[in-house]
Structure 1
């Protein structure tokens, strides 16, 4: 993923907190997801368009993890969210 690519949560997805995890519901296809606290931190940042660097910064600020390890995890989470059609790439 390119460093300058922006990602944002799709507006068709609603979310709520459930004990530190997040529940996500895609309203168009009625798909329900739960995400762990790390993915929840990524999700929260995606309320507005964000780059990988912004997402990595948010996660490393909240959890004790190196940038290098975090970047791989964030990229994996984003790839899963894009595949699930709850996040999209946007142009600046």
Structure 2
């Protein structure tokens, strides 16, 4: 069986709500990352490791969007968050 990557928030990132949007600051690199309400809902779910499918479910349950509509956007967002070092990739066995 092939394991699916999961994603989890870095422990040295602090965040705050700014009117429904969210601002993140990586304390080690001083990287600042802002996100809209949709991405904010996703971020709040990443306190524990989540697979791409679980992240799609978080967004589709909260917002009026289909799996197909949001999957590509989530993949792009998660890629940006990994690149900004606010989220890390873990194997699903770490869940």
**Band of TM-score, shorter chain:** over 0.9
Structure-2 residue corresponding to 1:76: 76
Segments of structure 1 that go 5 or more residues without pairing to the other structure are none
| Structure 1 moving runs of 4+ over 2 Å | none
Q: TM-score if structure 2 supplies the norm length?
A: 0.90
Q: Distance in 2 between matches of 1:90 and 1:78?
A: 13
Aligned length: 91
Task: Show the 5 A alignment for 1:18-33.
Answer: 18-33=18-33
Task: Show the 5 A alignment for 1:9-88.
Answer: 9-88=9-88
Segments of structure 2 that go 5 or more residues without pairing to the other structure are none
Residues 64-88 of structure 1: per-residue CA shift (max 9 Å, x gap): 1110011111101000001111111
Q: TM-score if structure 1 supplies the norm length?
A: 0.92
Gap change, CA 1:3 and 1:39, over 3 Å in 2: farther
How much is the aligned-residue C-alpha RMSD, in angstroms?
Answer: 1.4
How far did 1:29 drift?
Answer: 1.0
Q: Distance in 1 between matches of 2:66 and 2:3?
A: 17
